[in-house]
Structure 1
Amino acid sequence: MIGFGMRTVAALLALAAVTVDALFNPILPGFNPDPAFLRVGSDYFIATSTFEVFPGHPIYHSTNLVDWELVGHALNRPAQLSLLGTPGNGGLWAPGLRYHDGIFYLISTSRHVYTSELSLFPRSFYVTTDDIFSNNWSDPIYFDSLGYDPDLFWDDNGDVYSTWCGINDPIDKIYGIYQNTIDIATGDSLTPAQLIFSGTLPNNSSARPEGPKLYNFNGTYYLLIAEGGTGATHRATIQRGPSPSGPWENNPKNPLVYNGEDPSLAVQSTGHADILQAEDGSFWGTLLGTRPQGGNTNHAQLGRETFLYPVTWEDGWPIFNGGRPITEHLVDVLEDRPPVTDFELDFGDVEGEDLEGAWYFVRTPYKKFYSLTERKGYLRVKGNAYAIGDRDSAALVLRKQTAYNQTFETTLEFSPLSNTTEAGITIWRQDSMHDEIGISGDADGSGKRYIVTRKLEKNDQVGPWALTPANNTKATVDRVELETDDEPVKLRIVGSSTSYTFGYAEGEGEWVDVLSIDSALLSLFSDFKGTLFGMYNTGRGFPTLAPADFRYWKQYS
């Protein structure tokens, strides 16, 4: 149980022991949706969604709410998370992050299919650890319920409540917030599931009440949810009541946040919120939002990012950000301190045999396909038969794009054996949204090398882009013969607010740009993620014996 009082935003910022006097939103730029927010002592934590990339659910840490660092991933072992064959936008959905009696709980759902034969929601689960900095979490413990966006709540009498989004009309796709009590040791249900809330919007398929978070503030229970889908009508609303199950009284000032009321705002799609109380008694919240570029909602390739805002109270109701829309600049702060978005790593400086930190793979790898020791000073990517865009696990190493104006660059040494052997770099968002520049060879194995660019576009003859298996797309492929057969080749992708430009430089030669694309090809809203840069090696349907050696990874603005 947590107390609260009435304070102005200015007073919060002036008095808070957590000094937030220099903040630029988003605090977690790039692909970081559905933030779950937690404080334990003087430590703050955020977990976000990862969908079909592995490892799952990054855990970020801060002591001042401004500077955040990645401390690990809750699902980092194949035994915890099998994503083999998982469709785009399946995998791990919105997490919950809670702490009770010395144990951290990461609560999640993994969606493996989207077919008429297997249309039920999956069973959600939770993993635990007593040391969140150890990067060592338990195997999953499963709930009995079917649904998504699960959360856990411990009542003062010891009851543990599981609350989730479920479906109560599968024909018309009417969703609601469900709840029961569970045995926290096993996940077993102790009481029947009950529908506790249907949201504040008209009860139809577009309402989508989801993302429930349950709190006890000063003896009153609050149910915070997301509504209106994940697009322009996304919002956060709250109810209060006398028990964890209601009945609920509607906040007369709902929605708490809804930037979609003004499409001209720089931040859009605001919702899926979580709140907490700092050590000094002030309240803060996180939520997701997007930053469309160039006045066009089709240019939001970074996807859904994590934003921070102060929470105040009036008449027992929370007020987000002083009742103002969420912005890139937090109100009433002294100056801006943008988050660090540049990243540079010389692979010769890496100690040990594994990439550690914010590195990702598409789905769970069958086996390790890279090495930092086979050729010291390089990241060696050993190709497999899968290509980028196959609904499987290609030999592809990824990091999130963290700024719209950001360049990704490396030097590649690669001797292709055929025209199916290819290695290079990519900008990737899902199976049906990615573009590459790489090096490939001749069909006759002559030793000649070519710069290859692949521009993926919608195949209008196959079906709706929004549903997107990779065969809903077609690739435009161009080849430029290189002058030498053995010189290192520099590759780069230059990102701007509305485009990407692909280029190469042979040896110490000048940069040559060979492809430019509209970023709208990578930012259709049906995708839940954001763009990631990547290094790959593929045999395009065949095993490949040609390793790809990358000298460094550089992302800079």
Structure 2
Amino acid sequence: MNFKRVVVFFAFCLPVQVWGLLNPILPGWNPDPSILRVGSDYFIATSTFEYFPGHPIYHSTDLVSWKLIGHGLNRPSQLSFFGTPSDAGIWAPSLRYHASTKTYYLASTARYAYTAEYRLFPRSFYVTTKDIFADNWSDPIYFDALGYDTDIFWDTNGDVYATWSGNNNPIDKIYGIYQNKIDIATGTSLTDAQLIFTGTLPDNSSARPEGPHVYHINSTYYLLIAEGGSGPQHRSTIQRGPSPSGPWESNPKNPILFNGADLSLPVQDTGHSDIVQAPDGSWWGVALGVRPQNGSFNNQQLGRETFLFPVTWEDGWPVFNGGQPISEHIEGVLKDKSPLSTYLNDFVSHTLDLSFYFLRTPYKTFHSLTARPGFLRVNANAFALGDRDNPALLLRKQTSYEETFETKLDFAPRSNLTEAGVTIFYSDLLHNDIGIVGDGSGGRQLVTRTNVQAVQVGPWSLTYTNSTITTVNHIPLTTSAGPVKLQIVGNSTSYSLGYAEGDSADFTFPVTIDSSLLSVPPFGGFFFKGAAFGVYNTGNGKPSLAPADFEYWKQTPVL
């Protein structure tokens, strides 16, 4: 045998590592991305719904490494959510910069109510800042129109346009893209609202043209929108015309982003996109997408994440990702760099970092990093998980389907109502918990709580009804005092909730649930967010004087 031929043979059989972009660039739920470049700095804002603070602002200089630098809405005067339904709250932002005044604008929509009996569209608004890194935006300035997904566009003559998704009445649910000129100092309308586009799909209640962005590129105006709802038929389409209001010529290759033509693709529900030009003249786009696990749309607990892709131009039209579906790895684009890393917080700082969220606007501060140095102390309020209000709950987004969350809890309950622990949380109806609670006789015990809703078969997947079955189990603890480690282990289709007493490294997992319990919305509800890990303390309807001290917060993701 010729040795050289053997070597050559094996060389050609070795796998070739091709560099490229790893998606999503913002893992964990970060829907409705809006991207902006100012100089060499890129910024992305995403939706947060009923979470507080609202609209995270991410920063990058290379489009690959992103850092959370603040939130557009972080004061109660900007965002007062009390009893706001799940998946209402803050919807899709539009992040823009006015170079002449060196001012950043963040347009948003706050849905304080969103229920079957109240579907009147809200008034959108915008906030401003001169220094986006200062994490200090103005109080809201409201538009006059009723609608959502509002975009702000400055024309070359100085006119300012607001463009949004709306309809003529709250009953027919037939949406369209509306627009008018505004006074940018006050938000006041200067012209009547006009319907400028009804989308590329049949003009009915499922078309849902929304998420508009207006651009002026090479003397041509473009209107980029999302269509097809928020499920597998979600897509992006683009139009061009002679003015910010059209009339619009539709791209003959629309939709320019749509993974739903092949439901076996690992990335689905792609759409709601925005584009930006780099200093070197190249173009890039961001869009939301979901990654169903094991081919099941019922297991997509991370929700809608932010994906990046290259944009090229042909015949005056943008081409997204070379005309190919968005994927988790785009070969030959930028560089392979995982956005994931282990997060460990041992609470030595006197303040929480920006990655933590509350459920709705806190009435008052219920946590402390100084009351017991080296611990996160959570003081209970009377709200329990599942109450449509502001429980004493701190949340941090899950960032990988394979991810473990762990903490150590020191808690001495005073009654069978005082309870503290951890949760894997989606909403008031979709959460599963493990913690410590009083046993009614001065001692303590472990408690697990799972929430399951009766299943209804829908056209695309299962949906749950509003009939919730809550299962509560109590497990005796062998120790009457001292810390207990709590752990939630997530994988592609399930979560296991476990505990270990004292310094033991051996965890017991009394509960394992299917991740569909955090992916499938209640009947009549929505799936707009994704799962988050949380720590809580509650008096279950009564005030509680028992503090819960958490020694660390550790999230270990696997790409």
Instruction: Give the partner amino acid of 1:293.
Output: Q
Q: Distance in 1 between matches of 2:111 and 2:70?
A: 22
Q: Distance in 2 between matches of 1:394 and 1:454?
A: 16
Of the three residues 96, 109, 122, the one matched with 1:98 is 96
Q: Distance in 2 between matches of 1:375 and 1:411?
A: 14
Q: Distance in 2 between matches of 1:407 and 1:393?
A: 26
Deviation at 1:170, TM superposition (A): 3.3
Q: Distance in 1 between matches of 2:556 and 2:415?
A: 33
Deviation at 1:309, TM superposition (A): 0.2
Of the three residues 363, 366, 372, the one matched with 2:363 is 366
Instruction: Give the partner amino acid of 1:171.
Output: I
Check conservation: 1:169, 1:175, Cα contact below 8 A. no
Check conservation: 2:454, 2:464, Cα contact below 8 A. no
SS at match of 1:430: coil
Q: Distance in 1 between matches of 2:467 and 2:392?
A: 22
Counterpart of 2:482 in structure 1 is: 487
Counterpart of 1:340 in structure 2 is: 340
After superposition, where does 1:5-20 map in structure 2 within 5 Å?
A: none
**TM-score, with normalisation over the residues of structure 2?**
0.93
Counterpart of 1:518 in structure 2 is: 514
SS at match of 1:261: coil
Q: Distance in 2 between matches of 1:296 and 1:196?
A: 38
After superposition, where does 1:2-401 map in structure 2 within 5 Å?
A: 22-100=20-98, 101=100, 102-115=102-115, 118-333=118-333, 336-347=336-347, 349-350=348-349, 352=350, 354-401=351-398
What's the CA shift string for 1:409-430, capped at 9, x where partnerless? 0000000111111100000011
Q: State whether structure 2 residue 497 is matched by structure 1 residue 502.
A: yes
Counterpart of 1:6 in structure 2 is: none
Check conservation: 1:234, 1:270, Cα contact below 8 A. yes
Q: Distance in 2 between matches of 1:378 and 1:65?
A: 35
Q: Distance in 2 between matches of 1:33 and 1:86?
A: 19
Consecutive unaligned residues of structure 2, counting only runs of 5 or more, are: 1-17
Deviation at 1:465, TM superposition (A): 9.2
Check conservation: 1:36, 1:46, Cα contact below 8 A. yes
Q: Distance in 1 between matches of 2:129 and 2:67?
A: 19
- TM-aligned CA distance change 1:116 to 1:430, over 3 Å: closer
Counterpart of 1:17 in structure 2 is: none
Q: Distance in 2 between matches of 1:197 and 1:467?
A: 35
How many pairs does the alignment contain? 530
Consecutive unaligned residues of structure 1, counting only runs of 5 or more, are: 1-19
Q: Distance in 1 between matches of 2:19 and 2:498?
A: 41
Check conservation: 2:455, 2:464, Cα contact below 8 A. no
Deviation at 1:521, TM superposition (A): 0.6
Counterpart of 2:469 in structure 1 is: 474
Instruction: Give the partner amino acid of 2:123.
Output: R
Instruction: Give the partner amino acid of 2:143.
Output: F
Q: Distance in 2 between matches of 1:486 and 1:404?
A: 34
Check conservation: 2:88, 2:113, Cα contact below 8 A. yes
Instruction: Give the partner amino acid of 1:375.
Output: R
What's the CA shift string for 1:469-508, capped at 9, x where partnerless? xx64221111101011112100000000000001100012
Instruction: Give the partner amino acid of 1:51.
Output: F
Deviation at 1:357, TM superposition (A): 1.1
SS at match of 2:166: strand
Instruction: Give the partner amino acid of 2:30.
Output: N
SS at match of 2:260: helix
What's the CA shift string for 1:132-187, capped at 9, x where partnerless? 00000000000000000001000000000000000135332100000000000000
- TM-aligned CA distance change 1:261 to 1:93, over 3 Å: same
Deviation at 1:313, TM superposition (A): 0.4
What's the CA shift string for 1:516-541, capped at 9, x where partnerless? 00001101153100100000000111
Check conservation: 2:359, 2:389, Cα contact below 8 A. yes
Instruction: Give the partner amino acid of 1:26.
Output: P
- TM-aligned CA distance change 1:314 to 1:344, over 3 Å: same
Q: Distance in 1 between matches of 2:298 and 2:430?
A: 13
SS at match of 2:152: strand
Q: Distance in 2 between matches of 1:154 and 1:321?
A: 28
What's the CA shift string for 1:364-385, capped at 9, x where partnerless? 0000000111111100000010
Q: Distance in 2 between matches of 1:234 and 1:116?
A: 22
RMSD: 1.7
Counterpart of 1:12 in structure 2 is: none
Q: Distance in 2 between matches of 1:208 and 1:341?
A: 37
Q: Distance in 2 between matches of 1:518 and 1:505?
A: 22
Deviation at 1:341, TM superposition (A): 3.8
Counterpart of 2:424 in structure 1 is: 427
Check conservation: 1:151, 1:213, Cα contact below 8 A. yes
SS at match of 1:93: strand
Q: State whether structure 2 residue 407 is matched by structure 1 residue 410.
A: yes
Q: Distance in 1 between matches of 2:379 and 2:207?
A: 46
Q: Distance in 2 between matches of 1:23 and 1:202?
A: 35
Q: Say which is worse superposed, 117-126 or 288-297, in terms of deviation.
A: 117-126
Q: Distance in 1 between matches of 2:26 and 2:37?
A: 17
